Amino acid sequence: MNAMVSHDNSKRRAGRTVLASLGAALAVSVLGASPALAEKTRFEFWFGLTGDLAERVQDACRKFNESQGDYEITCTSQGNYDANLQNTIAAYRAKKQPAITQVYDVGTLDLMMSGAFLPAKKLMADNGYQIDWNNYFPGIANYYATAKGELQSFPFNSSTAMFYYNASAFKKAGIAEGPKTWTDVEAAARKLKAAGFDCPMGFNFDPWQTLEQFSAIHDQPIATKNNGYGGLDAEVVFNKTKFVDQVTFMKRLADEKLFVPKTKQLGMDIVPSFTSQTCQMIMTSIGDHGTIGKTMPEGVEWHVTLLPVMEGTQRKNSLVGGASLWVLNGRPEAEYKGAAAFLNFIAQPDMVEWWSTVTGYIPVTKTGFEAMKKNGFYDKPLFKGRELAIESLTYTPPSENTRGIRLGGMTQIRKEVSTALEAIFMQNADVQASLDQAAERSNALLRRFEKTYAGRTLD
């Protein structure tokens, strides 16, 4: 019997030992292994870039995910800027919005008036990040700031329009240097045509280059009320400025086949028309610099320079293009910590330089730009000329006409201008009458926008 009791006690002790060991193991599993097994906070980022640029965004997202173990960002292209804005609005209404969305320059007022976002300054302060907001270039920050200067979103893929020319073709045509004025452009176009080049200059109907950038560097208003910064009751006036003279000038040269329309609808847009050496001069974004560098045939010398101005013009700063990142309301608090971490990550100097290297977009902060200059970035042949975009944006302090454009429904206004330009160049429509009609339709859009937000004011 004593043997049986002894045996039972041994079994109980063994059982207690097994249970104790199991408990200890569970404790180690729960406490010791929890950091490795803890669920990451996942959040979404929607953007409107495609092709090579979309791949570079995905690279940035992968870099962030690999840099830490607390958050995981999922980045999804919506096809283009306009689609991303519309999809974001629809998702917000359905309460399925991403934490971060990329909105292009002309969608800024739509987002501001919606109130559907968390201001940049509040997001970073709430999550413990000390940001020097004065570090952003004024020409960039002002586009995404309130009338009082409060930055509402984060400048991301910033650009401005530049002038590209084929220096190899210029040499064959006996042209010594790149054009500085539109008179120079006309002279170069005539020499190129005489030298056998069928398309001296290619252009499309994008109002960003032809209207908005032209108006800024010539200190011409696009709309009253400081281009809309002064109130929702602004009206467009582009049909009463030097823009009319510029379109008339371009139409004359187009009629002489010195300027040639190049669009996707016509079979070849301006960037491929340049890289294929079909056209020898174009205007496009500095963001295309990387693509041109990758696709221009080896041995072809090409350069980028500031947009030309009319003879006798005192140049002003150009406008920032591209897009900024907005953090949307209505997401769990944990996602905002992840969003702030991501936005802080891509703002670091090494990421700023990487982003500019692989895309062509410009650094948005002074420290980022200075770090890239110090590292000799702009001395490398592949990247030479990109610093001119910063020169263009900072050529003068922003004025009432060069701060930016703060008009509701600017996407639709651009379409009205583009339609007018297409009619002028493709259907021989009258320049003044076409721009007058575009202005009339644009002002009708502005009045609808004003009615939608009746009683609201711009801060």
In a domain, 273, yes or no: yes
Can you list the pairs that 450-455 forms with residues at least 24 positions away whose Cβ atoms lie under 8 Å?
Answer: 450/232, 450/233, 450/408, 452/408, 453/113, 453/232, 453/408
Regarding whether 376 and 415 lie in a shared domain, the answer is no
Instruction: Using alpha carbons, select from 86, 99, 35, 25 the residue that is nearest to residue 332.
Output: 99
Of 387, 420, 436, the residue that ends a domain is 387
pLDDT at 371: 86
Q: Are residues 288 and 181 in the same domain?
A: yes
Both 284 and 241 in one domain: the answer is: yes
Strands 201-203 and 259-261: parallel
pLDDT of residue 32: 43
Task: Give, for all 459 residues of the chain, the pLDDT tens digit.
Answer: 333 333 444 444 444 443 344 344 333 333 444 444 578 999 999 999 988 889 999 999 999 999 999 999 999 999 999 899 999 999 999 999 999 999 998 888 888 888 899 999 899 999 999 888 888 888 888 888 887 778 899 999 989 999 999 999 999 999 999 999 999 999 999 999 999 999 999 999 999 999 999 999 999 999 999 999 899 999 999 999 999 999 999 999 999 999 999 998 999 999 999 999 999 999 999 989 988 998 999 999 999 999 999 999 999 999 998 899 999 999 999 999 999 999 999 988 889 889 988 888 888 888 888 888 888 989 988 888 999 999 999 999 989 999 889 999 898 999 999 999 999 999 999 999 999 999 999 999 999 999 998 887 766
Query: What does residue 327 show for φ and ψ, rounded to 5 degrees?
Result: -100, 125
The answer to whether position 23 is within a domain reads no
Report strand pairing: 41-47 vs 100-104: parallel
Angle at 50 between CA 117 and CA 271, to 5 degrees: 120
Q: Is the CB of residue 312 less than 8 Å from the CB of residue 182?
A: no
Say whether 281 sits in a helix, a strand or coil.
Answer: strand
User: 29 in a domain, yes or no?
Assistant: no
Residues 298 and 414 in one domain: yes
Two structure tokens written together for 411:
């996407």
The residue range of the domain holding 148 is 38-159+320-387
3-state secondary structure of 362: strand
327 touches 125 (CB < 8 A): no
Same domain, 207 and 290: yes
Mutual angle of helices 182-194 and 242-255, in 10-degree steps? 0
Q: What is the pTM of this model?
A: 0.85
- Is 96 a member of any domain? yes
Please indicate, yes or no, if residue 374 is contained in any of the structural domains: yes
Residue 92 is predicted with a pLDDT of 95
Q: Are residues 46 and 60 in the same domain?
A: yes
What's the rounded Cα separation, in Å, for the pair 106 and 82?
Answer: 10
CA triple 198-200-204, angle to 5 deg = 105
Provide the pLDDT for residue 110: 86
The H-or-E segment that residue 45 falls in is strand 41-47
Over its C-alpha atoms, the chain yields an Rg (Å, rounded) of 28
Angstrom distance (rounded) from CA 423 to CA 295? 32
Q: Does residue 197 lie within any of the structural domains?
A: yes
427 within domain boundaries: yes
User: Treating both helix axes as pointing N-terminal to C-terminal, what angle do 349-359 and 366-374 enclose, rounded to 10 degrees?
Assistant: 70
Q: What is the dihedral of CA 61, 64, 65, 68, to 10 degrees?
A: -170
Based on the number of CB atoms within 10 Å of its own CB, is 83 exposed (0-12), middle (13-18) or buried (19 or more)?
middle
- 19 assigned to some structural domain: no
- Same-domain status, 253 and 380: no
Is the domain of 68 the same as that of 47? yes
**Residue 57 has which token pair?**
């965004």
Sheet strands (E) in 184-335 = 201-203, 259-261, 281-285, 302-305, 321-328
**The total number of structural domains that make up the chain:** 2
Same domain, 145 and 57: yes
Phi and psi dihedrals of 71, rounded to 5? -130, 155
Q: Are residues 51 and 120 in the same domain?
A: yes
What sign does the dihedral 184-158-419-108 (CA atoms) show? negative
CB 318 within 8 Å of CB 213 = yes
Per-state percent for the chain, helix, strand, coil, to nearest 5: 55, 15, 35
One domain, residues 270 and 345: no
Q: What is the CATH number of the domain that holds 346?
A: 3.40.190.10
First to last CA, the chain: 92
- Residue identified by tokens 């205007």 is 283
Positive or negative, the CA dihedral 27, 32, 37, 42 is positive
The residue type at 383: F
Nearest to 297, CA basis, from 331, 267, 272, 270:
272
> Following DSSP, what letter does each residue of 89-150 receive, concatenated?
HHHHHTT---SEEEEEGGGHHHHHHHT-EE-HHHHHHHTT----GGGB-HHHHGGGB-TT--
Do 304 and 340 belong together in one domain?
no
**Count helices and strands in the chain by DSSP H and E runs:** 21, 11
CA distance 139 to 144: 10
- Give me the helix-helix angle, 410-426 and 242-255, nearest 10°: 40
